[in-house]
Amino acid sequence: MSVSTKDLLSADHADADRLLNEVFAALKKADCRDAFELLDLFWARLAMHIRAEHLHLFPAMLGSVDSGLIKNDGPSSKSVADVITQLHLDHDYFMTELAGVIKQMRALMANNESNASPVLADITMTLESIRARLKSHDELEEAEIYALADLIHSPAEVLSLNSRIRKEIENLPPRFVNRTYAGI
């Protein structure tokens, strides 16, 4: 039996959450090198997830609702499009904010600062904001988009969609190949 789109992408959310928790643990220990490596991996994993949604899930959803595949008691194509628009805005926020945090971490490590506490505190606050928005974002995706994907597509279409999504979320950038991370 194949996994549902909701299960596939929700599991990826859970993996990203665990990875972000490891970033926070490294920051708490003031381990800049470990925090940077974990943060870089989190950023890449989130980008892979977003890419899967932008290239495969969202177009499939919009195509299906525009084709009238949602039953009369389901959400309107406008409401699905509105949710996807909000998700796109969230994705832009995550990538922009994470790029800024990565830049701060790189500068911190390049300068070999002996007292990194103020910068790490700022990074931690930014990541807390990202985590809070990511939590509500993931809840919205799982409730409004992921669950709907399995309802408006045939089993064969779900299988094909999930195959394309899985290919994207497993396509690690070359800098991470052959590297291991504790707990991942």
Query: Which pair of structure tokens corresponds to residue 120?
Result: 């790490």
The domain ranges of the chain are: 5-172
pLDDT digits (tens, 9 = 90+) for 46-63: 999 999 999 999 999 988
| Count of CB atoms situated within 10 Å of the CB of 47 | 16
pLDDT digits (tens, 9 = 90+) for 149-161: 888 878 898 999 9
pLDDT digits (tens, 9 = 90+) for 120-173: 999 999 999 999 999 999 999 999 999 888 888 788 989 999 999 999 999 989
pLDDT digits (tens, 9 = 90+) for 11-36: 999 999 999 999 999 999 988 889 99
Query: What is the pLDDT, as a whole number, of residue 8?
Result: 96
Query: What is the pLDDT, as a whole number, of residue 95?
Result: 98
CA 136 to chain CA mean position, Å: 12
- Residue 170 dihedral angles phi and psi, to the nearest 5°: -105, 0
Query: What is the pLDDT, as a whole number, of residue 183?
Result: 44
Nearest to 28 by CA among 111, 121, 100: 121
